[in-house]
Amino acid sequence: MTTILDGKNVANQLTTKLQEKVKELNLKNIIPTLYVIEVGEDPASRIYLKAKENLAKRIGIKEVTLKFSENISQKELIDKIIELNRDPKVNGIMVQLPLPKHIDTEKIVATIAPEKDADGFHPYNQGRMWQSKTQIIPATVRGILALLDYYQLDVSGKDAVIIGRSLIVGKPLASQFLRRDATVTIAHSKTKNLADLTNRADIVVSDVGQAHLLKRDMIKENAVLIDVGMNRKNGHLMGDIDYQECFDKASAITPVPGGVGPLTVVSLMQQVLILAENQING
């Protein structure tokens, strides 16, 4: 029987745990605080930010969104981040991407103090991740690991194929799968014969952004399928994996929506609490 990896349920359970954690911090007079920097008006980003604001409120995290006009200079933005880095009441900082073209995104991300890097995009944290020496990892990756843990899906010794090599999902996930002793292959747009790789994989994670890229004849019997893709087609949200086709061939599969998506925002909040605790413990 195929297990549906219900991200919504796992996210709800995690939310309850985080609410408890915030109460513990409050008893120590700590109010975990996340600052979000939003530049310009991007409707897609706004929807995501609203979800973050609502969840932070539910969990008890103080979330402050600083909105700047899209004409803000790079220097002004950097100065603001430095000010937040220095403020002991600020536990986590994140900059909503994409930024306007005149701003150097890499420079902005690198300005955030690594110990306040809520998104886990800072080059220091990305490097430490490959050394297996940090708890700070991108939220979607944390969410995928939480889902696998909840359903007790151990990747050790398994062949894992990750499709997509982005810095926010594919590459950091590869580091975490390696940390968990999987044998990892990363595929991308220049990969030849993707099906040859996925057909041998015990676990496939797709982070491409192409509706129904992965078909039934491309997966192995009893594979675990994790779909990060979110594609809008004919007014519907669908994943990279053809869910209907692959369902009964897989041993476990994430739906879209309701799989990885709900775990991303709650994992960001979890990371803010980890940052706050690290800061208290020095």
Known catalytic residues are 52, 96, 119
Confirm or reject binding of residue 32 to ligand NAP (CB under 6 A).
no
Per DSSP (E only), the strands in 54-117 are 62-68, 92-95
Confirm or reject binding of residue 190 to ligand NAP (CB under 6 A).
yes
Look at the alpha carbons of 217, 218, 224, 228 in this order and tell me if their dihedral is positive or negative. negative
Please identify which residue in 199, 231, 251, 278 interacts with ligand NAP, judged by CB under 6 A. Answer: 231
> 79-98 as b/e, with b when 16 or more CB fall inside 10 Å?
ebbeebeeeeebbbbbbbee
Q: Copy the structure tokens of residue 187.
A: 């595929």
Please identify which residue in 81, 147, 208, 219 interacts with ligand NAP, judged by CB under 6 A. Answer: 208
Q: Do residues 208 and 164 lie in contact, with contact meaning Cβ atoms separated by under 8 Å?
A: yes
Confirm or reject binding of residue 212 to ligand NAP (CB under 6 A).
no
Please identify which residue in 113, 153, 230, 237 interacts with ligand NAP, judged by CB under 6 A. Answer: 230
Residue 188 beta carbon to ligand NAP: minimum distance, rounded to whole angstroms: 4
With CB under 6 A as the contact rule, which of the stretches 56-64, 92-100, 114-122, 187-195 interacts with ligand NAP? 187-195
With CB under 6 A as the contact rule, which of the stretches 72-80, 129-137, 157-165, 197-205 interacts with ligand NAP? 157-165
Q: Which residue is nearest to ligand NAP (CB)?
A: 209
Q: If DSSP codes are grouped into helix, strand and coil, which group holds residue 282?
A: coil
Smaller CB distance to ligand NAP: residue 32 or 170?
Answer: 170
Under DSSP, the state recorded for 192 is S
Confirm or reject binding of residue 188 to ligand NAP (CB under 6 A).
yes
Q: If DSSP codes are grouped into helix, strand and coil, which group holds residue 203?
A: strand
Q: Do residues 160 and 191 lie in contact, with contact meaning Cβ atoms separated by under 8 Å?
A: no
Please identify which residue in 126, 140, 175, 254 interacts with ligand NAP, judged by CB under 6 A. Answer: 140
In one-letter notation, the amino acid at residue 103 is I
Confirm or reject binding of residue 109 to ligand NAP (CB under 6 A).
no
Count of CB atoms within 10 A of residue 43's CB?
6
> Exposure of 111 by Cβ count < 10 A (0-12 exposed, 13-18 middle, 19+ buried)?
buried
Q: Copy the structure tokens of residue 231.
A: 């594609």
With CB under 6 A as the contact rule, which of the stretches 62-70, 81-89, 149-157, 164-172 interacts with ligand NAP? 164-172
Residue 231 beta carbon to ligand NAP: minimum distance, rounded to whole angstroms: 6
Residue 213 beta carbon to ligand NAP: minimum distance, rounded to whole angstroms: 6
Count of CB atoms within 10 A of residue 256's CB?
22
Confirm or reject binding of residue 164 to ligand NAP (CB under 6 A).
yes
Contacts of 124 (CB under 8 A, 6+ apart): 114, 117
With CB under 6 A as the contact rule, which of the stretches 93-101, 109-117, 181-189, 246-254 interacts with ligand NAP? 181-189
Residues that bind ligand NAP (CB under 6 A): 140, 163-166, 168-170, 187-191, 194, 207-210, 228-231, 260-261, 264
